[in-house]
Structure 1
């Protein structure tokens, strides 16, 4: 590592410590031993300021400011559109990010929240660039770390970066939602991708008393970090840790295309006492999302009024909320989506409309549920 890289790493460590993200000596020492720039040798994408729609431009290792940005506390996009990396592009690209190097403060916060002890065996879901994998190996020993990555190209780049540093944990290419049974049971499982529901395999592959740390979210956007303790009966429960943590959803959990919208002039219409503003706030939208986990949200305009639509592509259910002189909702399909929204919001409000950090997530074979 060059003198400049050492200085930049030391400055980043100081920032993370002062910010409360690095809280223990053990993780501080691990972070000091892992140069982040080694995992960004292929470059990254920088968002083009003020571009509408969002656009990205590549930053290569040879470009000015590359090294300094590697040691900034920000997420750096390393792949867009499922296959495209910085070396593939000259100019700009207007596609969605599909892989990134997560901001170091969140990586270290999660590793602290994982509550590991020496000798514990950890399964990481989502190798990504390999940076967090290296931190785990540095803290626990490479023999205690298994990491699984869905994307073969991303996995290959991570393997190369880890190899340059002489770090050789067990690296697997496959669907992380299935875990990795060959190495089970694990003391800890940590996921660096978002999921709509906690996969049963993660619970089954964690020893009783072990911990699963995962970001649980959905198709309406909000997601929160959950620390789940696995019980003897195959269930798990634990708190949401707060902080509006966001990760890209695991690819199998991404929403399907909306396709052709249904005829929204049909269906049953009624008044509602719940305004569409519940779809704006982070916490209330998380509650709505728990009520209708398959639904996607879009807004329309009709006669100068806003209309909010929830639509479940798989079942064909939809609800249209009209924000006129009075609130009305029209819905159709096998599931009355807005009825479920009202029911969940009522329970949440009866509990005092608490912050998400006061929520306990319960994972059972029947699904996930929040209790206030």
Structure 2
């Protein structure tokens, strides 16, 4: 058990006060929940970034005392799992695959959903269980909350039971699970490239869903409302939230297309554009599933867009001046064409932020719209 001298309750109250001061937390019931919920119970082990290349991760557990506890009660994302983990001198190497979300982001999302005491709620990614604990505290009964997770649900479920929350925990992929109930609210704490048909059909008329949509490149949060016909529609919110991409079961490996000789051309797209979250959001909507890779080659900075099927387009810069981009692979000229179109459209309209856009999801697919559902729009995917 945590040493009483470490005073987690005082730390939790301070965290709630900090989030209230920054405007991330405003609802009285949720302020009380953050103050009373022992986040350390849900994060018995995590990894701190100590820098280096590759990144050196320091493992933190309860025996570390205050150096373990204090980060838990700060407004910090905590990495809880590493893929390809390798223990080395003074720490670990590995790739983060799971985390306990930054509390400010969790609170903003829960508040945006406006969870009511009689709501039926879907938590699409249980993870450590901390988010589920905050949501359950807003409901009359824990059984009103259904939480899905691909792995490790037993431990998170036990932690929730320990706090008196009888949550319905499913070891399932929320993006493909056929639910036998309708939900008034749904929240996804992982990157959700698509609102799948099973998710859409699980929403009750008038229900709301919030997610980091159009990933993995986009950091935008969308708040969608369900209508009586099973369609979803709503705006992207002013504050973003970038999550690790969704994991799925039994997905076939990607088969990369054969490369073709390079094509070349000039670009006026500044290298710093690829650091702009608003532009990357627009790009993600028009190149679904795209990843952005940063690199250097022969003294030049490179920005490479890589599609899920392996096609790619690369721009190379020297001294911050545009150089010749190179693009390879089947269909890659279309990546370059889309990139140029997105840059021209975005700059001509004054570089609009993502809250000027919205999303409509029907059985016909996804549609991104600008300013209003009746305005300029594009099919996504």
Distance 2:201 2:255 in 1: 36
Distance 2:187 2:194 in 1: 14
> What SS does structure 2 have at the residue aligned with 1:320?
strand
> What SS does structure 2 have at the residue aligned with 1:99?
strand
Distance 2:241 2:196 in 1: 19
1:225 aligns with 2:221: yes
Query: Does 238-247 or 349-358 show the bigger shift?
Result: 349-358
Partner of residue 148, structure 1 = 148
Q: Deviations over 1:315-367 (max 9, x none)?
A: x5332334477654444523511112222333333433211122112223344
5 Å-filtered alignment, 1:153-168, equals 153=152, 155-168=153-166
Distance 1:89 1:145 in 2: 41
Q: What's the TM-score once normalised by structure 2's chain length?
A: 0.84
1:212 aligns with 2:209: yes
State the Cα distance separating 1:11 from its structure 2 match: 1.4
Distance 2:88 2:160 in 1: 25
Distance 2:73 2:301 in 1: 43
1:363 aligns with 2:361: yes
Cα 1:70/1:322, change in 2 over 3 Å: closer
1:112 aligns with 2:111: yes
Partner of residue 31, structure 1 = 34
Cα 1:139/1:278, change in 2 over 3 Å: same
5 Å-filtered alignment, 1:309-348, equals 309-314=304-309, 316-323=310-317, 327-331=323-327, 332-334=329-331, 336-348=334-346
5 Å-filtered alignment, 1:269-308, equals 269-299=264-294, 301=296, 304-308=299-303
State the Cα distance separating 1:25 from its structure 2 match: 1.3
> What SS does structure 2 have at the residue aligned with 1:96?
strand
Distance 1:89 1:321 in 2: 36
Query: Does 186-195 or 162-171 show the bigger shift?
Result: 162-171
> What SS does structure 2 have at the residue aligned with 1:234?
coil
> What SS does structure 2 have at the residue aligned with 1:74?
coil
Partner of residue 58, structure 1 = 59
Structure 2: gaps of 5 or more residues: 371-381
> What SS does structure 2 have at the residue aligned with 1:342?
helix
Q: Is the 8 A contact 1:296 1:310 kept in 2?
A: yes
Structure 1: gaps of 5 or more residues: none
Partner of residue 193, structure 1 = 190
State the Cα distance separating 1:271 from its structure 2 match: 3.8
Q: Is the 8 A contact 1:36 1:71 kept in 2?
A: yes
Q: Deviations over 1:222-250 (max 9, x none)?
A: 31111011123332121111333111111
Cα 1:277/1:33, change in 2 over 3 Å: closer
Distance 2:255 2:224 in 1: 36
Q: Is the 8 A contact 1:58 1:89 kept in 2?
A: no
Cα 1:36/1:298, change in 2 over 3 Å: closer
> What SS does structure 1 have at the residue aligned with 2:338?
helix
**What count of residue pairs does the alignment treat as equivalent?**
360
Partner of residue 124, structure 1 = 123
> What SS does structure 1 have at the residue aligned with 2:42?
helix
Q: What's the TM-score once normalised by structure 1's chain length?
A: 0.86
1:74 aligns with 2:76: yes
Q: Deviations over 1:19-49 (max 9, x none)?
A: 2122111212322332212212x3221111x
